[in-house]
Amino acid sequence: MKITFDWLKDHLKTNLKEKNLLEQLTNIGLEVESVESFSSDDQLFKVAKIIKTEKHPNADRLKVCDVNIGEKELKKVVCGATNANEGLITIYAPPGAIIPKTNTKLEIAKIRGVTSYGMLCSESELNLSDESDGITELSKKYEKNIGKSYFSKSKSNLIDLSITPNRPDCLGVKGIARDLAASGFGRLIVSKEKKIKFKTKQTIKVKINKEKGQGCSAFGSCVIKNVKNTESPQWLKDKLISVGQKPISAIVDITNYVMLDINRPLHAYDADKIEKGIIVRNSKSGEEFTALDNKIYKLEKGMCVISDNKGVLGLGGIIGGTRSGTEFDTKNILLESAYFDPRSIRNTAKKLNLDTDAKFRFERGIDPLSIETGLKKAASLIQEICGGEVSKIDIQKTESYKTKIINFDVNSFENIVGFKISEKEIQRILIDLGFIIKKEKNSLKLIVPSWRPDISQQIDIIEELVRISGYDKIKTIDPIKDRSKSTLTQTQRLFHFLQRAIASKGYLETITWSFTDQSYNDHFREAGKEIKIVNPISSELGVLRNSIFSNLIMYMGKNLDRGFKDLSIFEIGPIFTGSNPGEQKTVVCGLSAGKKSRLSWIDKERNIDLFDAKRDVVQTLSEAGYNSDHFFIDSKTPNYYHPGKSGRIFLDHSKDKVAAYFGEIHPNILKKIDIKTENLIGFEIFLENLKLSRKTLKDQKLKFSVSDFQKSERDFAFVVNKDVEAQELISVISNVNPNLISNIKVFDVYEGENIPDNQKSIAISITIQSSEKTLNDKDLEKINNSIIEAVENKTGAKIRS
C-alpha cells in the first residue's frame, strides 16, 4: 500500500513530522517497507515546446531540436525519439537534473559532435508510466505552462507500507489515518458527505441470481448521464502520480482515487454498451471475455461474473471487460459498488492467475457498509469534473450485513499481555478505532466496525489494544533456568552422535535438498516409490529423494570438476519412501572419491576402497555403543553398489534390520553420470534400524574385569574354498572356547602359487588367555587342536603345514 503524508493529511490533523510518522506506522503494525524520496529536483523538469527540428549531421536517427523552455533563448537538445516533432509539447530536463528511472545525473554532453543541453524525457524515464516509446506528449492545454515545472508542487515522499492480510481497512488512506489517530498521532478528520441531487431513477435493471456459490451478495449502482469524460484535473493527477498510479481519464481516475482513499473498489461501465440489464451470475464453463488487460479469459463453471444479455461484461470484483469499458467519448455511465465474497474472489483469481488492485482488496474483505458512501463520493466527483446527472442509488442484496458483537472481559488484557491499561484507556482506543461500546456489569459489549472483518473474538480486541498501546510496554520476564525433561530423546542423541562421529573420520558434512533430479534418483531408487512434486521449482528438482546418494553424487561430481580429487562428504537427513507424512527414514550417507593417499614422500599411493568405508561405518557404530564383535556382514546389497565389492552390516546374527551398507558405487552409474575418479565408495547407515540400547553408558561402566594371567599368541593358516568367508572362520574359532579366545586377527589372505585354483589361504593370529590361571603347554596344545578340528570340520578347511 503506497501512501504519502500529504494524502494522509486529507484525513488526519497532525503537527507531527514525517520521521515520527514512519516510526509510528511501524509501531502500530503498519510496517514501513520503504520510503522513496522525491527531492526538490523534481522542480527542474519543465514543460517545454519543440520549436524546430533538424536532422543530426552525423546520425540518421537523431534530431537536433530547438526547444522553448520559457527562457529568452531556445535550448539545443539532441533527441532520438521518433515523435520529437516540431510543435510537440513535452517535458524537458536540464543538465544537473537526476533522471528518476536511472537515478543518473544529466550533464551537458556532446552527442556525435553536437552539444546537447539537457534532455527530452519519456514517461518511463520520469517513472510516470511504462511508456518508453518516444518522449512524453502533453496536450495543448500545457501551452500556457511552458517554462513552468511539470510537477505542480514538490511531491511528498512515497511511503510503501506492508499491510498484513488481516487489515483490508488499511488498504485505504483513511483506514491508516484512523489507526494513527487512535494511537495518538493526530486527530481523524470526519469528512462530510457531499450532497448531490439525485434527479432520476436508476434505469438499468440489476439482478443478482440466486444460485449456489453466488459470490456477490450486494450490488449498488447509479447511472450518470451526459458526462464529458476528460483528462483529470491536475490535483487528481498529482494525487495518483504521487502514489505511483498513472492517470488515465477522469472517470477511471476517480474510481481509483476512491478505492485508494477509502478502500472502496468501484467499477464504471459505459452504460450504452450494456445490453438491457445487469445480471450477476455464476459463469458457465467455457465462457470467454476480453478483460481490460487486453487478455482473453476462458472461464470455468461457477465464477462470479457481471453480465448482460450478450454475455460476460467482467469478473466481479476482479477485472472489467473491454466491451463495456469507459472511453473519452463515453456519455452515460453505470457506476458499480458491490460486495464480493473473499473466498469466491480468491478461487477465481487463483484459477485464472489474475491479480488486480480490486481483487487484492475484495479477497481480504471490503467494508460491506461502504457501498453507498463509495457511490456518493465517486458520483459527486464525476459530476464535479465531468458534469452529468446522477440517478438515484439502487442496491440489490441477497444478504444483509450482520453486526458483530463481542463481550470483552477487561481483565483478559493483562492476562495475555502481562501489563495493565485502565478501562478508560481501553474505551478510548476502541472508540477511536470505530467500536461502539456498551458498558455491562463485568464486561464491555462491543459492536465491531463493519470495516474490520478480522475481528470476531476477545483475543482480537486484546491485539488491537496492545498494538495501539505500544508493544514497548510489554515487560521482559526473564526465563527460569529449570529443566524437568531431558532436552534430547535417545534417538536424537544418536543422530547427533553419528553426525559428529562420521565427521570426525574426515567427512565434510553437507546439507542438500530433500528433492532431487529424477534421473539421478532413478539410479538409486530400486523398487522404491517415486514421489513427484506437483509444482517443482524446476524439472531437475522434481522428485523427493529415495536416497541421499543422488544429491551427494551430483555434488561430488561438481567438486571433482572444480579440480578436487580426494574428497569425503556426507549428509545425515531424510529419504522418502512414500508421499504420506512419516513415510521417511533418517539416513547417514557418505561418499568418498579418489585416493586415500596420493603421491607423497612418505606414503605409498592407494585408491580409496570399500574397507576404508567399512572401517568408518564399523568404527562409528562401535563408538555409538554397538559391539562390533556381534556384527554380521554379508554381501547382499542394493543394485547401485558394485555387486562384488559391497556389503551390508547387521548389528547381530538375528539379521533383523540392515544397519548399514557400504561399498563401491556401481561402475555403470559412474559411466552414466560421467564421473571421473579413481574410485567412488559410499555407505548408508539407517538410523531407525539401529536398536536403542536399554543399557546406558553408566550401566556399562559398572562392570570392569580383566585378566592379568599370561597370554599366548598362536598363528594358523587355513586353506579353504574361495567362497568361504573370513567371518565364518572367525565365528567358528571364537565359538571354540569364548572364555579362552580373547582376540582373533586375520593377518594374511593369499591366493596363487602353491594353493589350488579354487582355494585360498587365510592366516589368522589368535590370542589365548584365561582369566583363572596361566595356561601351560598342555593346555595350549589342547586348545590349538580344538581350533584346528573345529575349523576343519565346519568349513572344510585344511590347516596349512
User: What residues from 440 to 459 belong to the interface with another protein (CB under 8 A)?
Assistant: 457, 459
Q: How far is the CB of 695 from another protein (least distance, A)?
A: 23
**308 or 616, CB closer to another protein?**
616
Residues 6 or more apart whose Cβ sits within 8 Å of residue 252: 268, 326
CB closer to another protein out of 132 and 491: 491
Nearer to another protein (CB atom), residue 511 or residue 527: 511
Amino acid occupying residue 193: E
Among 463, 530, 609, 623, binds another protein (CB under 8 A): 463
Three cell numbers at 711? Answer: 597370554
**Candidate list 29, 172, 220, 374; residue touching another protein; CB under 8 A:** 29
Stretch binding another protein (CB under 8 A), from 101-109, 343-351, 445-453, 786-794 = 343-351
Binding to another protein in span 512-541, by CB under 8 A: 512-515, 531-537, 541
> Contact at 8 Å (CB) between 628 and 618?
yes
Q: With CB under 8 A, what is the number of residues at the site for another protein?
A: 97
Subset of residues 219 to 248 that bind another protein, contact rule: CB under 8 A: none
Q: Considering the rule CB under 8 A, would residue 692 count as an interface residue with another protein? A: no
CB of 366 to another protein, least distance (A): 13
Among 73, 478, 757, 777, binds another protein (CB under 8 A): 478
**Residue 489 found at the interface with another protein (CB under 8 A):** yes
**30, 32, 34, 50: which is closest to 90 by C-alpha?**
50
Report, in Å, the least distance between residue 170 CB and another protein: 11
Least distance between another protein and beta carbon 105 (Å): 27
- State the minimum distance, in angstroms, from the CB of residue 447 to another protein: 20
Q: How far is Cα 584 from Cα 586, in angstroms, rounded to an integer? A: 7
Q: Which is nearer to another protein, 244 or 506 (CB)?
A: 506
H/E stretch holding 445: strand 444-447
Question: Is residue 31 within the footprint of another protein (CB under 8 A)?
Answer: yes
By the rule CB under 8 A, 17 interacts with another protein: no
**What is the Cα–Cα distance from 683 to 663, expressed in whole angstroms?**
6
Q: Which residue has the cell 519543440?
A: 50
Residues near 791 by beta carbon (within 8 Å), at least 6 away in sequence: 716, 718, 729, 732, 733, 797, 799
- Out of 190, 511, 527, 697, name the contact with another protein by CB under 8 A: 511
Using DSSP, state whether 137 is helix, strand or coil.
coil
Q: Give least dist CB 676 to another protein, A.
A: 16
Q: What CA–CA distances, in Å, run from 182 to 168, 190, 370, 465, 735?
A: 17, 14, 21, 10, 86
Under the binding rule (CB under 8 A), the answer on residue 343 touching another protein is yes
User: Is residue 117 part of the contact set for another protein (CB under 8 A)?
Assistant: no
Q: What number of CA atoms fall less than 13 Å from residue 228's CA on the CB side? A: 4
Task: Please identify, using beta-carbon distances, which residue of 226 and 539 lies nearer to another protein.
Answer: 539
**Residue 472, φ and ψ in degrees, nearest 5:** -70, -15
Question: By C-beta, is 379 or 417 nearer to another protein?
Answer: 417
**Smallest distance from the beta carbon of 314 to another protein, in angstroms?**
21
- In the stretch 374-413, what mask flags binding to another protein with x, by CB under 8 A? ----------------------------------------
- Residues 157-186 touching another protein, rule: CB under 8 A, are 164-167
The one-letter amino acid code at 649 reads: I
- Name which position in 40, 102, 422, 487 contacts another protein (CB under 8 A): 487
Show the beta-strand stretches assigned E in 327-482: 333-340, 389-391, 394-397, 405-408, 436-439, 444-447
Q: How far apart are CA 608 and CA 591, in angstroms?
A: 11
Residue type, 103: N
Pick from 49, 47, 73, 77: nearest CA to 62: 77
- Applying CB under 8 A, the span of 55-63, 99-107, 117-125, 596-604 interacting with another protein comes to 596-604
Among 453, 564, 461, which residue's Cα sits nearest to residue 508? 564
Contacting residue, 129, 234, 380, 499, with another protein by CB under 8 A: 499
581, 644, 738, 752: which one binds another protein (CB under 8 A): 581
Relative orientation angle of helices 458-469 and 423-432, to the nearest 10 degrees: 90
Burial readout 584-595 (b: 16 or more C-beta within 10 A, e: otherwise)? bebbbbbbbbbb
Burial class for 90, CB neighbours closer than 10 Å (0-12, 13-18, 19+): buried
> Could you give the residue ranges of the DSSP H alpha helices within 269-387?
342-352, 357-362, 371-386
Site string for another protein, 540-579 (x = CB under 8 A): -x--x-------x--x--xx--x-x-xxxx---xx-x--x
**Contact stretch for another protein (CB under 8 A) within 36-44, 478-486, 651-659, 720-728:** 478-486
Smallest distance, Å, CB 466 to another protein? 5
Contact indicator for 28, 183 with CB cutoff of 8 Å:
yes
Select from 307, 326, 300 the least CA-distant residue to 230: 326
Q: Does 34 sit near another protein (CB under 8 A)? A: no
Site for another protein in 600-629 (CB under 8 A): 600-603
